[in-house]
Amino acid sequence: MRTSQLLLPTLREDPGEAETVSHRLMLRSGLIRKVAAGIYTYLPLGLRIIRKVENIIREEMNRAGAQELLMPVASPAELWKETGRWNFYGKELLRFKDRHERDFCLGPTHEEVITDLFRREVRSYRQLPLNFYQIQTKFRDEIRPRFGLMRGREFIMKDAYSFDKDEAGARLNYQKMYDAYHRIFSRCGLTFRAVEADTGLIGGSSSHEFMVLAATGEETVVYSETGTYAANVERAEVLPPTEGSREELRPLRAVSTPNCRTVEEVTGFLKIEPGRLVKTLLYSTGKDTVAVLIRGDHEANEIKIRRLLGVTDLELAGPATVEKITGAPVGFAGPVGLKGVRILADHAVRFTRNVVVGGNRADTHIVDANYERDFQVDEFADLRNAMAGDPSPRKDGILKATKGIEVGHVFMLGTKYSQAMNASFLDPNGKECLAVMGCYGIGVGRTAAAAVEQNHDDKGIIWPFPIAPVHVHLLPLGQSAPVAEATAGLYGSLQQAGLEVLWDDREERAGVKFNDADLIGAPFQVIVGDKGLAEGLLEIKIRKTGEKLKAAPADIPAKILQLAASGPSSQ
RNA sequence: CGGGGCGUAGCGCAGCCCGGUAGCGCACUGCGUUCGGGACGCAGGGGUCGAAGGUUCAAAUCCUUUCGCCCCGACCA
């Protein structure tokens, strides 16, 4: 490829819209361009990266015994109504009508479509197990798309769906996918970790997320440093404390706390630690309102609350509801004397003594409140996010926290979809059985973006060799005949050696070419200048280390292959 | 959906308060010089000032409406 014939619009300055490293660098290096919020065009070089990731995925999926097919982007409402997700999925499902006023949606995922295919085409246990996958553009109408390819509305995803005759078979498929994902992300040159996860809108019994560890990640992961436990905080189980405070119970009293609504304000005003406060959160479930008590230094986990209540709708109650129930403005709710709502509490609350709670009166809090003596709780449960310092639920050490980018997710679905859609087969006894399913996703663009988050410096991207848009960036300096001749020769010999080469044949100055090359981030640069030709040696620059090696032109292809196989950029 | 901010040339921005000729840097075109880490000179091209309505002799600038985008939050794979 020659730069002069390629649309490769590099930007010298950072686009104003971009915040994160990957978003900024992918725009600057001419890989993507925005068409609308969360919707991007992949420019030629960007598409090459996408294809590289896709091909790695394809190879590993095929190796794991999955077969590729391709489902439509648009799917009819009927299928979604069968599983109830037409309503359940909410606004994220982009719906539209065709010319006959029939309801359709853009597929955000394809359980319905694949299950429909299965029930039509598969009859016998002899045909199982099956695992289908596709690499396809999805659409989810995100509330807030951001960070470029990291969280788009339209995005490329590999999704796979397995069908088994029983749980044991499904577990085997799950394990195969789990292993394949390890190979895929390793081959992409990523540092990642598989963690236990919540199943969200997809549903099912268990799941793991594959998290690329990066400071800009949107997810928080906790893991045991000394053990094997790792989980998304929204999922991580928190063990009840084993012992509590032994303080003498002090008498209850009300104090004035003018304008102190938040934990920070109240603890600051009263000069106490956040752990000495219990916050009372009022949630509306759509049907009624519940109060949730959480220690001041903990974070409520709405997923756990939802699961305990068995509801899908849950949001913090509005000011009107809060005032109706507590008789006070938002910020002063407390469990003492609270009536008319169920009171749930995190386990930690049971082990506190002499805490500060809201007074259910404007500008008032209650000091030295105590569970049982001053307020009751209907149910204690694990209702908070895990955090660094908590003991691991596997009792294998203390948890640490880190940020992660979710690039893959595997789910055990069980029979949730096969039951809803009656996807069954006949077993050896002629008995009708429901297929046991699993589903497995990988965000392709997000994986590429995560690779940038993990592999860059202040000059630009440093692509891992297996997903680099090209292997070698060939940089002729100046217009002299010897340089032109040597460059043309190298262009041929590098390609002969099986390397992908981008030839910067623009009439640009050396500095411009060097800076663009560093920005674009091919693992190797080959620099052809009169200076080097005079001594018969040209330079190979290793992007990752900045190291420059000299080699005779004829030796360069072999040298690069050797570096790629063994060097720091090999991955 | 709540809070904040921004839409002026391809990109990054100034001008807006205080109405009166639309500007700067980069990029782009031509010529010349230069040529191993984002050169220089000369000459050029390019803008319905997001859109619609209003106020005014006159609107990028003031007012109203609207659309888009970004950030924080809520929410979400």
Q: What is the CATH number of the domain that holds A133?
A: 3.30.930.10
Highest mean pLDDT among A10-24, A317-331, A418-432: A418-432
CA of A16 and C1' of B19: distance in angstroms?
30
pLDDT digits (tens, 9 = 90+) for A51-61: 999 999 999 99
Residues A258 and A350 in one domain: yes
Residues A416 and A269 in one domain: no
CA of A473 and C1' of B28: distance in angstroms?
25
Looking at the predicted structure, is the pLDDT value of residue A327 above 90? no
Q: Which nucleotide is nearest to A39 (CA to C1')?
A: B69
Structure confidence at residue A412 (pLDDT): 92
The vertex-A466 CA angle with A462 and A469, nearest 5°, equals 60
Residues A69 and A196 in one domain: yes
Contact A103, A93 (CB under 8 A): no
Structure confidence at residue A204 (pLDDT): 66
A443, part of any domain: yes
Domain boundary among A354, A381, A408: A381
Looking at the predicted structure, is the pLDDT value of residue A476 above 70? yes
CA of A104 and C1' of B60: distance in angstroms?
44
The protein residue nearest B38 (Cα–C1') is A512
Q: CA A218, CA A188: separation in Å to the nearest integer?
A: 20
Q: Is the CB of A16 under 7 A from strand B?
A: yes
SS3 A542: strand
A408, part of any domain: yes
Q: Which of residues 106-135 of A touch strand B (CB under 7 A)?
A: none
CB atoms near residue A37 (< 10 Å):
12
- In this prediction, residues A6-12 reach a mean pLDDT of 93
Q: Which nucleotide is nearest to A38 (CA to C1')?
A: B69
The protein residue nearest B74 (Cα–C1') is A315
CA of A109 and C1' of B65: distance in angstroms?
39
Residue A310: pLDDT band (50, 70, 90) is confident
- CATH number, domain containing residue A526: 3.40.50.800
CA of A17 and C1' of B17: distance in angstroms?
27
Q: CA A200, CA A306: separation in Å to the nearest integer?
A: 11
CA of A32 and C1' of B51: distance in angstroms?
27
CA of A389 and C1' of B63: distance in angstroms?
57
Contact A450, A212 (CB under 8 A): yes
Q: CA A177, CA A163: separation in Å to the nearest integer?
A: 13
Contact A439, A411 (CB under 8 A): yes
Contact A480, A219 (CB under 8 A): no
A13, part of any domain: no
Residues A448 and A477 in one domain: no
Contact A334, A357 (CB under 8 A): yes
Q: Which nucleotide is nearest to A445 (CA to C1')?
A: B77
The residues facing A411 across adjacent strands are: A207, A439
CA of A12 and C1' of B45: distance in angstroms?
22
Structure confidence at residue A432 (pLDDT): 97
Share of chain A above pLDDT 90, in %: 73
Q: CA A229, CA A394: separation in Å to the nearest integer?
A: 7
CA of A148 and C1' of B60: distance in angstroms?
31
Q: Is the CB of A217 under 7 A from strand B?
A: no
The protein residue nearest B73 (Cα–C1') is A144
A242, part of any domain: no
The closest of A231, A202, A222, A246 to A85, measured between CA atoms, is A202
Q: Which of residues 280-309 of A touch strand B (CB under 7 A)?
A: 302-303
Task: Provide the total of helices (H) and of strands (E) in chain A, helices listed first.
Answer: 16, 31
Structure confidence at residue A203 (pLDDT): 63
Domain boundary among A319, A348, A381: A381
CA of A15 and C1' of B15: distance in angstroms?
21
Looking at the predicted structure, is the pLDDT value of residue A303 above 60? yes
Residues A230 and A98 in one domain: yes
A460, part of any domain: no
Q: For residue A78, give the H/E element and its range.
A: helix A77-83
CA of A146 and C1' of B70: distance in angstroms?
9
Q: Which of residues 413-442 of A touch strand B (CB under 7 A)?
A: 441
Residue A200: pLDDT band (50, 70, 90) is low
Structure confidence at residue A571 (pLDDT): 46
Tell me the whole-structure pTM to 2 decimals: 0.92
Q: Which residues contact A341 (CB under 8 A, 6 or more apart)?
A: A282, A288, A289, A290, A291, A325
Residues A290 and A168 in one domain: no
A155, part of any domain: yes
pLDDT digits (tens, 9 = 90+) for A351-367: 999 999 999 988 889 99
Q: Is the CB of A93 under 7 A from strand B?
A: no
CA of A17 and C1' of B59: distance in angstroms?
29
Structure confidence at residue A323 (pLDDT): 84
- CATH number, domain containing residue A354: 3.90.960.10
CA of A29 and C1' of B38: distance in angstroms?
14
Q: What is the 3-state secondary structure (H, E, C) of A173-223?
A: HHHHHHHHHHHHHHHCCCCEEEEECCCCCCCCCEEEEEEEECCCCCEEEEE
Contact A507, A2 (CB under 8 A): no
Q: CA A266, CA A360: separation in Å to the nearest integer?
A: 14
ipTM over 0.90: yes
pLDDT digits (tens, 9 = 90+) for A145-175: 888 999 999 999 999 999 999 999 999 999 9
Q: CA A216, CA A450: separation in Å to the nearest integer?
A: 9
Q: Which nucleotide is nearest to A315 (CA to C1')?
A: B74
How many folded domains does chain A comprise?
3
A18, part of any domain: no
The protein residue nearest B25 (Cα–C1') is A13
Structure confidence at residue A569 (pLDDT): 44
Structure confidence at residue A202 (pLDDT): 63
The residue segments making up the domain with residue A158 are: 46-237+400-453
pLDDT digits (tens, 9 = 90+) for A236-280: 989 999 888 889 999 999 999 888 888 888 888 898 988 899 999
CA of A60 and C1' of B77: distance in angstroms?
22
CB atoms near residue A315 (< 10 Å):
10
Q: Is the CB of A14 under 7 A from strand B?
A: yes
Q: Which of residues 357-386 of A touch strand B (CB under 7 A)?
A: none
Identify residue A33 by its one-letter amino acid code: R
Residues A358 and A261 in one domain: yes
A33, part of any domain: no
Looking at the predicted structure, is the pLDDT value of residue A201 above 80? no
Residues A193 and A308 in one domain: no
Residues A222 and A291 in one domain: no
Residues A164 and A227 in one domain: yes
The closest of A422, A441, A411 to A170, measured between CA atoms, is A411
Q: Which of residues 19-78 of A touch strand B (CB under 7 A)?
A: 19, 34, 36-38
Contact A390, A399 (CB under 8 A): yes
Structure confidence at residue A122 (pLDDT): 97
CA of A554 and C1' of B5: distance in angstroms?
57
Share of chain A above pLDDT 70, in %: 98
pLDDT digits (tens, 9 = 90+) for A216-234: 888 899 999 888 899 998 8
Structure confidence at residue A567 (pLDDT): 63
Q: Which of residues 506-545 of A touch strand B (CB under 7 A)?
A: 508-512, 514-519, 527, 529-532, 538-539, 541
Domain boundary among A381, A409, A426: A381
Q: Which nucleotide is nearest to A198 (CA to C1')?
A: B77
Question: Average pLDDT over chain A, rounded to whole?
Answer: 92
CA of A13 and C1' of B15: distance in angstroms?
22
Residues A282 and A137 in one domain: no
The vertex-A345 CA angle with A340 and A350, nearest 5°, equals 120
Q: Among A29-38, A121-130, A515-524, which stretch is predicted with the lowest mean pLDDT?
A: A29-38
Q: Which nucleotides of B are covered by protein (CB under 7 A)?
A: 1, 11-13, 25-27, 34-39, 68-77
Residues A374 and A479 in one domain: no
**Phi, then psi, of A437 in degrees rounded to 5:** -110, 160
